[in-house]
Amino acid sequence: MIHINFEGRLKKIWAKMEEEKIDVIIGTRLRTLGYVSGAFIPWRSAIIIPLNGEPEIFTLLLDVERVKDDSWIKNVNIWGPAEAMYLEPQIAESIKKLGYEKGKIGVEYGQEMILASGHILAAEYDKLKNLLPAAEFKNSTPIIDYITSIKEPEEIKLLRRASEITDVGQKAVKDELCVGMTETEVAGIAEYAMRKAGSDWAWTLTGGQEIASGYRTAYAMGGCTPATTKIIQPEDNVLVDLHSMYQLYYGDLSHNYFVDQPTKEQKKLADAYVEISYTLIDSMQAGANRGEIASNLVNIATKHGYGNDILFAFSHGFGGVGNESYPIIVDLEPWNEMELEANMVEIAAVVLNKPGVGGFRLERPVWIKESSNEVLPKTPIEPEIIG
């Protein structure tokens, strides 16, 4: 068991709160709830983080005892869809007891690509403003975003273990993958192997285990979830994108297979994919400019004749339960002016799809160190030929 210093995390949050002059944060996002509490809290919930005092959790009544058991925070209260149990009045009352009804309150509003992000709902925000009319509300999303983007040593250990689990899943797929199998069967093989290896959850934010074969690997922009009952055919390439979770930390490993010898066009596409992938990983160093990395990769794709077939974004943030999409490698504002920092862990991501030929996806966590980096999974980057 890897132990997290939750008191140390609170100190980091408090320091940012003092810097931003925020008296109390109402955290509603899945990532904030998990990061601060150490518990998996999937229901609509809130964690109150006062500048002076201990955190308090409000979660759905059916899950209170389990959250108390799993979290280091024992001040866990119920809310439910009934009079005197609604969430917003209880949050407001808690803030009044803390003496912050006229203070500056941080709430998590904004946008994320994932539907189940947990940002505060408009109805909740309006209700809280009505219940706390003298308070000043401020967006606290950037506070948690930045703190969670710089990983603690214990987090690196958890992410490495989660990556080892995805390696186990890929090996199981490689051992059994064959023509005539359905995509859902492939997902099941991987899921079973990873569960046996210790995965807690097939984080379903984007469809669980993402499996595609043949024409489905070549959708524009790369989406292919969820796995379907499509039967894998001879000459199909197969995309296997696996997701594990270990003690609230994610593994994300995409790998590509051929169930037969690749065609000439598939081999050409695969060669370009491999060059782009290795260049991306080599470029992910502390101090590297995100926009420059992305621009160079698009140029390589263009050199191979695939400038219109490459997804223009080449990473996303990564870590604990929830969605750590911040930040990304892309040649668009504001990202193209930002640099990679030591102890970030980001997903190196390449999506290279050519309709009528096939598609390839790279996703694997890269730990950016002071003067080097480490790819956490050990599955090879090159597409593998089965049979």
pLDDT tens for 134-160 read: 999 999 999 999 999 999 999 999 999
- Mean pLDDT lowest among 118-122, 173-177, 183-187: 118-122
Q: Angle at Cα 201 formed by Cα 198 and Cα 203, nearest 5°?
A: 135
CA torsion angle 140 146 150 151 (round to 10): 30
The distance from CA 166 to its chain's CA centroid, rounded to whole angstroms, is 15
Distance CA 330, CA 145 (A): 18
φ, ψ (nearest 5 deg) of residue 345:
-120, 120
Helix (H) or strand (E) holding 25: strand 24-27
Mean pLDDT of 304-328: 90
pTM of the model: 0.95
- For the record, the structure tokens of 237 come out as 């390439």
CA torsion angle 193 197 203 206 (round to 10): -40
Q: What order do you get walking across the sheet with 24-27 strand by strand?
A: 76-79, 56-60, 46-50, 24-27, 104-107, 136-139
Residue 108's pLDDT is 97
Per the model's pLDDT, the better-predicted residue between 111 and 382 turns out to be 382
Distance CA 58, CA 36 (A): 13
357-383 burial code (b ≥16 CB/10 A, e <16): bbbbbbbbbbbbeeeebebbbebebeb
218 DSSP 8-state letter? G
Q: Of 103-107, 113-117, 198-202, give the range with the top mean pLDDT.
A: 103-107
Residue 193's pLDDT is 98
Distance CA 190, CA 125 (A): 41
Distance CA 90, CA 127 (A): 11
pLDDT tens for 26-71 read: 999 999 999 999 999 999 999 999 998 899 999 999 999 999 999 9
216 DSSP 8-state letter? G
Residue 5's pLDDT is 95
Strand pairing partners for 106?
A: 25, 138
